[in-house]
Structure 1
Amino acid sequence: MMNEELKKQLRNRGICVIIPTYNNDTTIKTVVEKSLLYCDDVIVVTDGCTDCTTDILDAIDGITIVSYPQNRGKGYALKMGFRKALEMGFSYAITLDGDGQHYPEDIPLFLKANQEYPQSLIIGSRQLEGVDRSKGSSFANKFSNFWFYVQTGRALPDTQTGYRLYPLHRLCGLSLLTSRYEAELELLVFASWHGVKLVPIPVQVYYPPRNERVSHFRPGKDFARISVLNTVLCFLAVVYGLPLRLWRTLMTFLRTAYSLLFFLFFTLVVFTPFVWIYTKVGKMTECRRYRLHQLIYHASRFVMIHHGIPGTKYEYKVAEGIDFNKPRIIICNHQSHLDLMCQLVFTPKIVFLTNAWVWNNPFYGSLIRNAEYLPVREGLDEIMPHLRSLIERGYSIAVYPEGTRSKDCRIGRFHQGAFYMAREFGLEILPMILYGPGKILPKTGWHLHKGKFFVEVDKPLTQEELSAMGDLKQQASTMRKRYKEKYEEIANRMEQ
């Protein structure tokens, strides 16, 4: 990734770099200048430096300096850096030490992890194999890892690393933070207790020769302080951390159970019997079939907008002048079982192309079949006459060009079917971009997460605009590229 593009992506996601430093005059210039190669937004906290660190930093353009006269410790420096970053409008902060131990070249790894795991605390796990470390340093890391597991029930390979990406709006226990370097462990513990996902990623580490190392660690005093802290945290783990974890687990179960029971009740007790009676009593005229679509439309709006799925919120943005009563081919990225309901809130005059298992589903298959949602079994040719009839009756056809749900919400390869139908029927293509369903109910997940649904309906594309992209394969490729760019833009906005 080119550095300018990296800088742009970091800024779009609200990510800055924070470097706390105390008397690192031999390394700080190199660390800051290398960081500026990857990120334009660098905050350096001078923790009461008594050497020439401050003078060196004053000579570097393009950085923000937070300074105070008395040395207060790394915990206090981090707190001041986080506060400054929040004041400046950032949502995330990558922290690295000023002693040259961490490589700014690894900043792209944190960006990639943040894109994959938004709102998570990313931990740069140092690759320490073959590194010349003191026995005290090695023991301290193992000691810290052990007590972290005891206090949280989570295992991490490196709890003492200072190379991390923090979600600033999810920092917990900041007001209780100890002032020295053990504050980083405390931040991890509080984050874990409050349900922040902790994601370790491998990073490089540099340890200079022993005679060149600068360390402010005082073995006797600091180990005593760490032991006291671990004693306090173990007590809090029992009276505070564990109840929080149990409460979170209970609420996740209740949200999922409620939604599942809600779904089963309305499909088995309400919709399925109603549809059976509705279709068996009297002739299925066009007017009666449209009322069935209106029922689906109002039910979707009730669930997604008015009633809502517990712990979620639904928002949408529609391009100016969109008339949903005009037949079009609607394309959308595919993430979750919830995608259909996200789209159905806009109009009753929409029909989906589905997989065979959806069409034959024992719970809602009858509703799907009677609403004329069509299965794609052996290509489009066999259903083209039925699609033409639907379009002539004023319905839009919704297609997922990816063909299957994405496991990680990334935009997969687009098939050509939607563009073929648009060409054959002479219709515009209406793009819809979904964000959220794949995070709230992932393809491989079994329970509902908290989150936000967002749907953006873009301007329709005419056949002239589509033809200008090239043949069907080129149209599919071009639209996939647009979707990737648009989804990244939406994700950057939603995940800050």
Structure 2
Amino acid sequence: MRDTNYNQLDELCDRGICIIIPTYNNEKTIVEVVQRAMEQCRDVIVVNDGSTDATTELLHAVKGITLVEYDNNKGKGKALQLGFRKALEMGFSYAITLDADNQHYPEDIPVLLEANKKYPGCFVLGRRNLSGVERSFGSKFANAFSNFWFCVQTLQYVPDTQTGYRLYPLHKLYGINGLTSRYEAELELLVFGAWRGVKIVSVPVRVYYPPREERVSHFRPGKDFFRISVLNTFLCLLALVYGWPLAAWRGLRILVSTLLALLFFLVGTLLVITPFSLCYVALSKVVKLDFSAIRKLLHVFGSLTVRMLPLIGVKTRIMNQSFEDFSKPAMIICNHQSHLDLMLQLSLTSKIVFLTNDWVWKSRYFGFVIRHAEYYPISAGIDVILPKLKTLVERGYCISVFPEGTRSPDGQIGRFHKGAFYIAEQLKLDILPLVIYGANRVLPKKGKYMRTGNILFSIGERISPVKQREIAESILQRAKLFRQFYVNSYHKICNKYDQNA
């Protein structure tokens, strides 16, 4: 179970997220902004961009921040660049940036955090709610101008490209040594990231615009519009020779990877496994044979699948700290993210059978193999399949069940059904928990293409029947507590490995 004192501050720390606040002559607001930010996150980096007012003295009086400062004003782009470098030196993986003029609400940091958990490794932009806000014509035009050219350069539409409220994946800042050092650098970072395939996610955040007479703006309409126009001209030319070809190559690579994976699956199932199974079943009617050879072939196919994945850009890692060898029967429970989940388990051992959904058991492509491998449909009813499972257990086989019953669309752990825990109790089996991370991003539930990424397969320690009863006497309560255990375990894995997503 997760510590009850675990909170947002811990989560930001565990996920390697800090806050960066660039500031230049914001003496009226900087202390309040920093203090509010520190209430949301322990790690706050302030970059003093050569302030000439009281900002410097005020920041030196604030305890608990990391201060980066220099004498001469170099622009927001340079301030962000130095802030990013400092964050990387300190070991952070993500940085949330917000402005020092009190325009952004630090209290909206949880919104960016939730987006980071759902879309690790992505740019997260705080889409400002500008309806009803009094803005100058120049401000409105600049935002529309920026959105339009960003769409031209990247072929992606983003509703608010000028927001300074962002979450950056620091290891994917391909333009960190950028072309520009001032206001327009934020756009440049976004464009280069999009070209390199970094997904951009927009989430709604609040924005505060004080009365005109109280606003502090360092935007210089003439000079900055000229600089933005020059930058956009250059980026459009660069898109022709670099950005668009790179995106096309990335799309082609994804298509080829998907076709290779599909070809491997079709050849393996239709030309190898199914013909072998047909011949083997026919032979078994003449000579007494069991169907262990079919399960061994499926194990080989699963192993080859896992070994093939790196060839299409998917890295797999198995964590087996308990040195499990599957020599003793167990009830294996596993979260369900992707079609790859089955292959991952098959690669571990041939001494395993699965409880499946009807569509798998009745499939015209591989249903014959599934049925003769002695996998059983959960819909047949536990009382019907229990005697058959007991026979398999007596022969040394593990039973694998996905307690969620269906693949998760976003990787999060769904409700656990109690069937697996009832079977474990009836057959007096250890429960062996497996946790899969990353498979849903490589091959999402409704996705049509294979993606590059990392898959982690964590094998836990066995939980004996005695320990299961100590956890909860009621089967229903046991299912709920095991689900919570999975939620906590998966959460910890995500916090650790999302930093490298």
What TM-score do you get using the length of structure 1 for normalisation?
0.97
CA distance in 1, matches of 2:184, 2:284: 75
CA distance in 1, matches of 2:477, 2:391: 28
Q: Are 1:274 and 2:276 counterparts?
A: yes
Alignment of 1:60-209 (within 5 A): 60-209=62-211
Aligned partners of 1:300 and 1:344 also within 8 Å: yes
SS at match of 1:453: strand
Q: Are 1:491 and 2:494 counterparts?
A: yes
CA distance in 2, matches of 1:286, 1:340: 29
**One of 481, 484, 488 as aligned partner of 2:484:** 481
CA distance in 2, matches of 1:108, 1:307: 35
Aligned partners of 1:403 and 1:415 also within 8 Å: yes
Q: Are 1:222 and 2:224 counterparts?
A: yes
CA distance in 1, matches of 2:283, 2:315: 38
User: Could you tell me which residue of structure 2 aligns to residue 315 of structure 1?
Assistant: 317
Alignment of 1:243-258 (within 5 A): 243-258=245-260
SS at match of 1:67: strand
CA distance in 2, matches of 1:442, 1:133: 42
CA distance in 2, matches of 1:198, 1:37: 27
Amino acid in the other structure paired with 2:344 = C
CA RMSD, Structure 1 to Structure 2 (Å): 1.5
CA distance in 1, matches of 2:380, 2:199: 42
Aligned partners of 2:93 and 2:169 also within 8 Å: yes
CA distance in 2, matches of 1:368, 1:284: 21
After superposition, the C-alpha distances for 1:108-131 in whole angstroms (9 at most, x for unaligned) are 001000000000000001100001
After superposition, the C-alpha distances for 1:174-208 in whole angstroms (9 at most, x for unaligned) are 22231001101111111111111000011100111
User: Could you tell me which residue of structure 1 aligns to residue 397 of structure 2?
Assistant: 395
CA distance in 2, matches of 1:202, 1:179: 27
CA distance in 1, matches of 2:412, 2:428: 30
Aligned partners of 1:333 and 1:432 also within 8 Å: yes
**One of 282, 301, 304 as aligned partner of 2:303:** 301
The worse-fitting range, judged by mean Cα deviation, of 22-31 and 311-320 is 311-320
Q: Percent of aligned pairs with the same residue?
A: 54
Q: Are 1:385 and 2:387 counterparts?
A: yes
What TM-score do you get using the length of structure 2 for normalisation?
0.96
Residue 299 of structure 1: how far off its partner (Å):
2.0
The worse-fitting range, judged by mean Cα deviation, of 119-128 and 265-274 is 265-274
CA distance in 1, matches of 2:289, 2:321: 30
After superposition, the C-alpha distances for 1:213-238 in whole angstroms (9 at most, x for unaligned) are 11111111111111111111111111
Residue 3 of structure 1: how far off its partner (Å):
9.7
CA distance in 1, matches of 2:55, 2:353: 66
User: Could you tell me which residue of structure 1 aligns to residue 363 of structure 2?
Assistant: 361
**Unaligned ranges ≥5, structure 2:** none
Aligned partners of 1:335 and 1:406 also within 8 Å: yes
Residue 78 of structure 1: how far off its partner (Å):
0.4
User: Could you tell me which residue of structure 2 aligns to residue 5 of structure 1?
Assistant: 7
Distance 1:4 1:156, change over 3 A: same
Aligned partners of 1:3 and 1:37 also within 8 Å: no
After superposition, the C-alpha distances for 1:441-485 in whole angstroms (9 at most, x for unaligned) are 111111111111111111111112211222111111111111011
Aligned partners of 2:354 and 2:400 also within 8 Å: yes
CA distance in 1, matches of 2:465, 2:212: 69
CA distance in 2, matches of 1:30, 1:287: 77
Distance 1:285 1:21, change over 3 A: farther
The worse-fitting range, judged by mean Cα deviation, of 369-378 and 2-11 is 2-11
Aligned partners of 1:429 and 1:460 also within 8 Å: yes
CA distance in 1, matches of 2:52, 2:80: 19
User: Could you tell me which residue of structure 2 aligns to residue 263 of structure 1?
Assistant: 265
Q: Are 1:57 and 2:59 counterparts?
A: yes
CA distance in 2, matches of 1:492, 1:120: 15
Residue 309 of structure 1: how far off its partner (Å):
5.6
CA distance in 1, matches of 2:427, 2:164: 59
Aligned partners of 1:94 and 1:165 also within 8 Å: yes
**One of 211, 214, 218 as aligned partner of 2:213:** 211
SS at match of 2:213: helix
User: Could you tell me which residue of structure 2 aligns to residue 419 of structure 1?
Assistant: 421
Distance 1:436 1:134, change over 3 A: same
SS at match of 1:377: helix
Distance 1:410 1:285, change over 3 A: farther
Distance 1:287 1:458, change over 3 A: farther
Amino acid in the other structure paired with 1:358 = V
Residue 319 of structure 1: how far off its partner (Å):
3.1
Aligned partners of 1:3 and 1:38 also within 8 Å: no
Aligned partners of 2:284 and 2:290 also within 8 Å: no
CA distance in 2, matches of 1:214, 1:307: 53
CA distance in 2, matches of 1:116, 1:185: 24
CA distance in 2, matches of 1:3, 1:215: 41
Amino acid in the other structure paired with 2:66 = T
CA distance in 2, matches of 1:28, 1:3: 30
Aligned partners of 1:302 and 1:308 also within 8 Å: no
CA distance in 1, matches of 2:346, 2:463: 21
CA distance in 2, matches of 1:425, 1:309: 41
CA distance in 2, matches of 1:122, 1:297: 41
**Unaligned ranges ≥5, structure 1:** none
CA distance in 2, matches of 1:4, 1:475: 23
Aligned partners of 2:309 and 2:315 also within 8 Å: no
CA distance in 2, matches of 1:438, 1:301: 19
